[in-house]
């Protein structure tokens, strides 16, 4: 059994000063104040001093990093992405597909399902690498008007048989699907996906307020990169953005890089959704962690310059990392670091139903970070084992 302590420890119920985290067999055994344990800091207790021990980050929406995309057929793609993610504090993630030909999506889903099942079969996940837990299907059920850079020629109507083919290829590992609710057939597919335990997320949509509300009633419970690729908020016609901001049944995510949204809008969003329903994503592409230049998002060519990732003049994902997103949310919204951390941990894991992730509690997976007081990642642990970052 290993013990870890720091000046602060973040649990699902708040902070513990001078907290201790006990880990055994890749899981958290006990969490509490050092005074409650009757333990002295010795060779079996690693003391991180004036830092914060927090759960590992969970990225629900990421396409790639380090020059690779999750849809790449290169065998080195996922390992490279996962090592990069761990270096930025991400311990779990949902590899996210982009609109492409159905054949390309099907092949990617099969490869991603293989990766997820490999991790499930092994007692120990690969050292130093974030763990893929479920797939985010972003496209092809998107609005033509708000498709962003998703190829128009590959967009498809939300038909049950199409989703079924993707579901079978993924072997049931699709955990989240982004759908434009105004499309014909969307409400039926939302209901079917929700019954299977898939989180239906509203996004890439030109829906009006009423349509968005009907989608929530049908089973949608989240929103994808709010405000981006979404009908703008209007004071007389609030649209889908108005529904996202005001409906407590919906959690929602944002890209807090200071490029996709103005900091004032991040604060508006955070105030509206609150510390329980605000979720951070990166929407990172293969360009994350790389120098300015040309990269790819699925089969889409993208250019990176001065922190912006674009294709034909449109934003195309990001180069954001989750550690920076947490710091930005705290700064933009005037939130405490623990509240910002929750948006990248507990809240994200809850969206896709992983109760043993994103929290530090007895029985949870021992995925955790050591952060300094500014939110910089100093150490990443996955399954209680430190990653070399």
Evaluate whether 66 touches 24 at the Cβ level (below 8 Å).
no
User: pLDDT, tens digit, for every residue of 106-135?
Assistant: 999 999 999 999 877 655 556 789 999 999
Question: Under a CB-based contact definition with an 8 Å cutoff, are residues 225 and 252 in contact?
Answer: no
- CA dist list (Å): 365 to 105, 323, 362: 31, 20, 9
What's the mean pLDDT in 22-31? 94
Tokens of residue 18, six digits: 């001078």
140 vs 143: CA distance, rounded Å: 9
Q: Residue 308: beta bridge partners? A: 305
According to the model, what pLDDT value does residue 43 have?
44
The residue length of the chain stands at 389
Determine if the peptide bond prior to 140 is cis (ω within 30°): yes
Q: Does residue 365 sit within a domain?
A: no
In a domain, 27, yes or no: no
The answer to whether residue 230 is domain-embedded is: yes
In a domain, 141, yes or no: yes
Dump pLDDT digits (tens) for 180-208: 999 999 999 999 999 999 999 999 999 99
DSSP codes joined into one string, 342-372: HHTTHHHHHHTT-TTSS--STTSB--EEEE-
In the predicted model, what is the mean pLDDT of residues 235-253?
Answer: 98
Is residue 283 part of the annotated active site? The answer reads: yes
Mean pLDDT along residues 343-359: 97
The DSSP output letter for 133 is -
Express each pLDDT in 318-342 by its tens digit: 999 999 999 999 999 999 999 999 9
Residue 66, domain CATH: 3.20.20.140
The torsion of the CA quartet 282, 287, 292, 296, rounded to 10 degrees, works out to -120
Give CA 338 to chain center in angstroms.
17
pTM of the model: 0.96
Residue 356 sits at φ, ψ, to 5 deg, of -95, 10
Catalytic residue (choose from 69, 283, 323, 367): 283
Q: How many domains does the chain have?
A: 1
What pLDDT, on the 0 to 100 scale, is given for residue 356? 95
Residue 124 has what pLDDT? Answer: 52
Closest Cα to residue 94, out of 126, 66, 135, 65? 135
The pLDDT assigned to 119 comes to 78
Q: What percent of the chain is predicted at pLDDT more than 70?
A: 97
Q: Is residue 157 part of a domain?
A: yes
Confidence of residue 305 (pLDDT cuts 50, 70, 90): very high
Is the residue at 12 inside a domain? no
Residue 23 falls within a domain, yes or no?
A: no
Residue 33, CB-side half-sphere exposure with 13 Å CA sphere:
6
Structural domain containing residue 191: 56-356
Residue 20 lies in a domain: no
* Predicted local distance difference test score (pLDDT) of residue 388: 85
Question: How many helices (H) does the chain have, and how many strands (E)?
Answer: 11, 25
Check if the beta carbon of residue 149 is closer than 8 Å to that of residue 311: yes
The whole-number pLDDT of residue 14 equals: 86
User: Does position 155 have pLDDT exceeding 80, yes or no?
Assistant: yes
Say how far apart CA 256 and CA 222 lie, in whole Å.
17
């Amino acid at each position: 059994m290993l013990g870890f302590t720091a000046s602060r420890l973040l649990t699902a119920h708040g902070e513990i000063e001078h907290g201790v985290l006990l880990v055994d067999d890749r899981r958290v055994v006990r969490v509490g104040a050092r005074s409650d344990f009757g333990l002295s800091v010795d060779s079996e207790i690693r003391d991180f001093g004036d830092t914060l021990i927090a759960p590992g980050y969970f990225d629900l929406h990421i396409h790639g990093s380090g020059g690779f995309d999750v849809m790449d057929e290169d065998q080195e793609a996922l390992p490279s992405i996962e090592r990069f993610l761990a270096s930025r504090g991400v311990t779990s993630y949902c590899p996210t597909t982009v609109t492409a030909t159905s054949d390309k999506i099907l092949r990617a889903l099969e490869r991603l399902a293989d990766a997820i099942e490999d991790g499930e079969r092994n007692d120990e996940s690969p050292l130093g690498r974030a763990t893929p837990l479920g797939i985010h299907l972003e496209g092809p059920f998107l609005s033509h008007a708000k498709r962003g850079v998703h190829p128009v020629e590959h967009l498809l109507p939300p038909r049950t048989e199409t989703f079924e083919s993707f579901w079978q290829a993924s072997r049931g590992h699709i955990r989240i699907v982004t759908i434009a609710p105004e499309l014909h057939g969307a409400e039926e597919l939302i209901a079917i996906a929700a019954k299977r335990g898939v989180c239906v997320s509203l996004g890439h949509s030109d829906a009006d307020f009423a349509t968005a509300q009907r989608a929530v009633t049908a089973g949608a419970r989240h929103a994808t990169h709010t405000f981006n690729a979404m009908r703008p908020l209007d004071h007389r016609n609030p649209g889908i953005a108005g529904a996202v901001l005001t409906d407590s049944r919906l959690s929602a995510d944002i890209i807090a890089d200071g490029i996709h949204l103005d900091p004032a809008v991040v604060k508006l969003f955070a105030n509206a959704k609150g510390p329980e329903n605000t979720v951070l994503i990166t929407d990172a592409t293969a360009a994350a962690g790389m120098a300015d230049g040309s990269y790819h998002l699925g089969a889409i060519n993208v250019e990176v310059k001065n922190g912006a990732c674009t294709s034909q003049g449109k934003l195309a994902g990001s180069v954001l990392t989750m550690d920076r997103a947490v710091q930005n949310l705290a700064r933009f919204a005037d939130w405490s670091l623990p509240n910002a951390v929750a948006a990248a941990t507990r809240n994200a894991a809850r969206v896709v139903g992983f109760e043993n992730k994103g929290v530090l509690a007895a029985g949870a997976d021992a995925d955790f970070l050591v952060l300094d007081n500014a939110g910089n990642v100093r150490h990443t642990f996955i399954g209680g084992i430190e990653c070399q970052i």
